Amino acid sequence: ATFNLLKKANTTAVFQLESKGMKDMLKQAKPDCFEDIIALVALYRPGPMDLIPDYCRRKHGLQRVEYPHPSTEPILQETYGIAVYQEQVMQIAQVVAGYSLGAADLLRRAMGKKKPEEMVKQREVFNTGAQKNGLTLQQSNDLFDLLEKFAGYGFNKSHAAAYALVAYQTAYLKAHYPAAFLAATMSADMNNTDSVRIFFEDCAPNQIEVLPPNINQSEFRFKPLNDKQILYGLGAIKGTGAAAIDVIIKAREEDGPFKNLFDFCNRLDLRKVNRRVIESLI
């Protein structure tokens, strides 16, 4: 189940969470609810990354939470007054300037593309709606400028939530089932030596021992033997391949362990387990 979950997970998201920068951010933020993880996923990108220190300080009461306008408080409260998501830009346009959500989405797109002619039109519509709701022209222009800035880097919250769910699930698995998790992680990308090395090097700090490949015990994938040991997968050895490993495992299951190299060669179809495979295993 762990392996299947990781196969479905976005590879980029998994590696982001393994990066030092992301780990440092999480230590600084100390997330204590799922919404925090969603926000941190959205913030950990070029542009909004500059707001991470403000987000962390506001979360821990070290910096005053300020809102661009009182009417935006219910929308920005969960992110401590910082517009993080595209949906927040749309909601602010809806509440402050009377946009429909459909029109607000068109505003968000226009802000993202930064087309001057379209922005002039949208500013007029926004100012008209905002003034009807009690804002001065100066307040309206200031808020529009702020939204334009946020829209340039805002992340889709539903998208961030999907990444955050995978992050939460995999963090739980790593914390409670480290051997199974790390074995599954290495198996999920074992054709990529660099990826395997990253997770292999993460085993020792987690008190997990990776045993060398064993022709009579190893399977195609990395295999957790217990809570503290992983058996190296034969499929991660360069020059082997799934078809050859399947033949080897099937022969081992039918007639027992291989006694020596001669017994190994004698019992296998050498058209499928050829010289290149044997030399790679040696």
The model's pLDDT over 232-244, given as tens digits with 9 standing for 90+, comes to 999 999 999 899 9
Task: Look at residues 83, 94, 72 and name the one whose alpha carbon lies nearest to residue 157.
Answer: 83
Residue 5 to residue 173: CA distance in whole angstroms: 11
Residue 158 to residue 171: CA distance in whole angstroms: 20
Taking only the tens of pLDDT, the chain with its 282 residues reads 555 555 555 454 445 444 678 888 899 999 999 999 999 999 988 778 888 999 999 999 999 999 988 999 999 999 999 989 989 989 999 999 999 989 998 888 888 777 778 888 899 999 999 999 889 999 999 999 888 887 777 788 999 999 999 999 999 999 999 999 999 999 998 888 888 998 999 999 999 999 999 999 999 999 999 999 999 999 999 999 899 999 999 999 999 999 999 999 999 999 899 999 999 999
Q: Are 96 and 72 in contact (CB under 8 A)?
A: yes
